[in-house]
Homo-oligomer: A and B are copies of this chain.
Amino acid sequence: MASAPVTGRARALGAWGFEGERFPPSPQLLALLQSRLGPTVPFPRLDRARLRPPASRALPALGVAASHDPADRIAHARGQGLTDLIRLRTGTCPAYPDAVVRPANDDDVESVLRVCVRDHIRIIPWGGGTSVTGGVNVVSSDVPVVSLDLARLAGLERIDPVSGLATLGAGTLGPAVEDALAGHGFTLGHFPQSWELSSLGGWIVTRASGQESLGYGSIQDLVAGLDLVAPAGRLAIPALPASAAGPDLRQVVAGSEGRLGIVTRATVRVRRRPARTVVAATLLPAWEAGLAAARAMVQAGVPLTLLRLSDAPETRVAVAIGMAAHRGVEPLVRRWLRLRGIGEEACLMLCGARGDPRPVRRTLAAARSVLRRHGGVGLGTGPGRHWLADRFRHPYLRDALLDLGIATDTLETAAPWSRLPALTRQVREALSGALAAADERVVVLCHVSHSYRDGSSLYFTFFFRVPPDADAAVARWATLKRAATAAIVAGGGTLSHHHGVGSWHAPWFADEVGPQGAQLVRAAAAALDPVGVMNPHVLLDPLDRLEV
């Protein structure tokens, strides 16, 4: 396997991304949040001295070198959910893996699995470790736990430029995927917000969506074939453009979250790199008008690659930040917008197109013509350029806010267009009111980021004051999470559009697919992992672990 390019940057512990990287809130955003939430108390910073995993339990020879280094075990204890950061910063993680293994090929993986099945050792697959659903979290248990890190199963193995198919190791991270493909003139076009840190295998088993999924599809649309090493044996799904030979096993592995085995490589559909990417911004008069415009464009087949629509609160945040640089002209701009029907309920939409200049212009013109019919006022390509420049940096904001005592998290769903207005309201109300008993307020923003002919995703960002005690902080978050998830389920949304089920959404999984659906997935997992050593606390384990 060719070696993957490495970024050479060290991952931060108990925080998003790379060490040294920062994205502090603007004074405007901070003022806005504090005016809404009230004064805050700083949350404890990471204290490495408090992170002391207990000694590793005895492990048999796994056939692959096992690391027992405490730093390695700490780095593989938790994902990147808000409470993962809280637990790491406060040194209150309840469990750590007993070892970290880094297999170099499928035989290595098979060897580790064989021993683990024999001795009932649990395996948690680790790609980029960016799960925000507890998908890679170690749960306290009586049996040893091994984190299987796919970092060495990385790089481009094969490319078929005629068919536009590339085979890459499952541990290949986003930038390495694009670097390797760029050398052949191709792109995968899959850019989730976690792109710099997350892996191909992780994307597949969680059904990830990139920010340009409207043009490129989500990862489950991009996987033509894959190899999986399971306790029961190897599953090789051939790379085919389509097939009517039985159920689509690609779509069983996609979303399996490690329960079926370890995805070791995948063959993905790639495209010629586009000449340019242009993102145009528009203000719509209100959320419903924005949804209607988004729907109209997608149902008309306008070939955008990206469509984001922020609700009015999220738009106010964006405008507050953007206008800070132009204080003097702000009243003029506001008056100009008001004359065009854009007031306080304005919603910002970004429409992106990729390709050669002429088709890009034609696509954006088609989008504009639909947007105008919905009262849209164009803002040009400036806001889009800013967004593109910062799109992978936004998650760093969470750490900086947490330092100040403001917790922020996100959650997402998807539903048919006809349900979206009510669902937006229901989830917003559930989040906004969830802490009323504690007399705490919650700021809730929402946007659409992945649209389909029949519906769209809804992505909620919420902010709340976090108490400095870890358990209290986690409990407060869990209250919000339960309220929002209940509202999503009641409102007919899916449990997750692209974060997955993990262990945190698992108690609600049967609400979405019913007892027979859960039984079907359980049977599939049991077929490939009869003993049940593979990531056993995600997807099918109904225990509420929100406060772990």
A377 within 8 A of partner (CB): no
Asked if A301 is at the interface (CB within 8 A of a chain B CB), the reply is yes
Give the Cβ gap from A302 to chain B, nearest Cβ, in Å: 11
Residues of B within 8 A of A230 (CB): 516
Stretch of A67-75, A99-107, A246-254, A321-329 that contacts chain B: A246-254
Which residue, of A164, A232, A244, A527, has the highest number of chain B Cβ atoms within 10 A? A244
Q: Would A269 and B453 be within 8 Å (CB), given that A242-B494, A496-B244 are in contact?
A: yes
Provide the A220-236 mask, 1 if CB < 8 A to any CB of B, else 0. Answer: 10001000101011111
B241 near A456 (CB under 8 angstroms)?
A: yes
Known contacts: A414-B240, A457-B242. The answer to whether A249 contacts B520 by CB under 8 A is yes
Question: Please, what's the 1-or-0 string for A175-191, where 1 marks a CB less than 8 Å from any CB in chain B?
Answer: 00000000000000000
Say yes or no: A244 contacts B498, CB within 8 Å: yes
- Picked from B165, B418, B419, B509, the residue with its CB within 8 Å of the CB of A246 is B509
* Chain B residues near A390 (CB-CB < 8 A): none
Chain B nearest CB: distance from A218 CB in Å?
Answer: 7
Interface residues of A in 353-408 (CB under 8 A from B): none
* In contact, B414 and A512 (Cβ under 8 angstroms): no
Question: With A and B bound together, what is the CA distance between A519 and B224 in angstroms?
Answer: 21
Complex Cα distance, B329 from A182, in Å, reads: 53
Question: Is A194 among interface residues, defined by CB-CB distance under 8 A?
Answer: no
Inter-chain contact B517/A249, CB cutoff 8 Å: yes
Contact with B along A137-170 (1 / 0, CB 8 A): 0000000000000000000000010111100000
CB distance from A481 to the nearest CB of B (A): 15
Note all chain B residues with C-beta closer than 8 A to A165: 416, 454
A163, B303: Cβ atoms closer than 8 Å: no
A497: chain B residues at CB < 8 Å are 242-244
Given A234-B514, A524-B524, also A494-B243 (CB < 8 A): yes
The answer on a CB contact under 8 Å between A248 and B251 is yes
Decide if A455 is an interface residue (CB 8 Å cutoff): yes
- What chain B residues lie within 8 Å of A524 (beta carbons)? 247, 520, 523-524, 527
Using CB atoms, name the residue of chain B closest to A299. Answer: B164
Q: Does chain B have a CB within 8 A of A545?
A: no
Choice from B164, B239, B245, B271 contacting A513 with Cβ under 8 Å: B245
Task: Known contacts A243-B496, A415-B240, A505-B245; decide if A520 and B164 are in contact (CB<8 Å).
Answer: no
B242–A209 contact, CB under 8 A?
yes
Residues of B near A255 (CB, < 8 A) are: 244-248
Does A207 touch B at the CB level, under 8 Å? yes
**CA–CA, A492 to B218, complex, Å?**
26
Residue-by-residue, is A492-505 near B (CB-CB < 8 Å gives 1, otherwise 0)? 10111111110001
Question: How far is B528's CA from A366's CA once the two chains are assembled, in angstroms?
Answer: 48
Partner of A527, one of B206, B241, B509, B520: B520
A39 part of interface (Cβ distance < 8 Å): no
Contact of A454 among B163, B299, B457, B512 (CB under 8 A): B163
| A101 to B456 CA separation, bound complex (whole angstroms) | 40
Within 8 A of B (CB), among A238-292: 238-257, 260, 269, 271-272
| Interface residue A120 (Cβ < 8 Å from any Cβ of B) | no
Q: Is B495 a contact of A245 with CB atoms below 8 Å? A: yes
The answer to whether A271 and B453 have CB atoms under 8 Å apart is yes
A441 within 8 A of B: no
The answer to whether B501 and A415 have CB atoms under 8 Å apart is no
Most buried by B among A237, A245, A515: A245
Contact between B218 and A415, CB atoms less than 8 A apart? no
Listed by A's residue number, 9 A-B pairs whose Cβ atoms lie within 8 Å are: A162-B416, A162-B418, A163-B455, A241-B414, A242-B494, A245-B496, A245-B501, A249-B521, A520-B528
Query: Which A residues contact B (CB, under 8 angstroms)?
Result: 160, 162-165, 206-209, 218, 220, 224, 228, 230, 232-257, 260, 269, 271-272, 295, 299, 301, 303, 414-419, 450, 452-457, 492, 494-501, 505, 509, 512-517, 519-524, 526-528, 539
